Amino acid sequence: MEKVKMILIITIIGSFLSQICCAKDETHKDAGTASATFLEFGIGGKAVAMGEAYMAVSSDVTAIYWNPGGLSQVKGKEFAAMHNIWFEDISHDFLGYAHPIGKDKIIGIGIIGLFINDLERRKGPNLEKEGTFGAYDGSIILSYSQNVSKNFSAGFSLKGIYQQIDREKGQGAALDIGWLYKIPIKNLNLGFAIQNWGSKMKIYKRKFQLPRIFRIGASYRPFKNNLTLAFDVSKSIDNGLILHFGTEYQIFDLIAIRGGYRYKLDQIDNEPLSGLTAGLGFKIKDYQLDYAFVPYSDLGDTHRISFLLKFGPSS
Q: At 197, which CATH number?
A: 2.40.160.60
Beta carbons within 10 angstroms of residue 179's beta carbon: 19
pLDDT in the model for residue 25: 44
pTM of the model: 0.84
Query: Terminus-to-terminus CA distance in the chain, angstroms?
Result: 61
Q: What is the pLDDT of residue 37?
A: 85
Looking at residue 82, its pLDDT comes to 97
pLDDT given at position 11: 42
Cα separation of 107 and 64, whole Å? 9
Q: What is the pLDDT of residue 313?
A: 63
Contact 157, 128 (CB under 8 A): no
User: 262 is in which domain, residue-wise?
Assistant: 2-313
Q: How many domains does the chain have?
A: 1
Half-sphere exposure (Cβ direction) of 265: Cα atoms closer than 13 Å: 9
Q: Write out the E strands in the chain.
A: 76-85, 90-100, 105-121, 131-147, 152-165, 168-183, 188-198, 201-203, 206-208, 213-220, 227-236, 241-251, 255-264, 276-284, 287-295, 301-313
- Residue-by-residue pLDDT tens, the chain, 315 positions: 344 344 334 443 444 444 444 444 445 555 556 778 889 999 999 999 999 999 999 989 999 999 999 999 998 999 999 999 877 678 899 999 999 998 889 999 999 999 887 666 666 565 666 667 778 899 999 999 999 998 999 999 999 999 888 777 888 999 999 999 999 877 899 999 999 999 888 776 778 889 999 999 999 998 777 899 999 999 998 788 999 999 999 998 899 999 999 998 876 555 666 789 999 999 999 999 999 999 877 677 889 999 999 987 654
What is the structure's pLDDT at 309?
Answer: 97
Question: Cβ of 115: how many Cβ atoms within 10 Å?
Answer: 15
Cβ–Cβ under 8 Å, residues 243 and 233:
yes
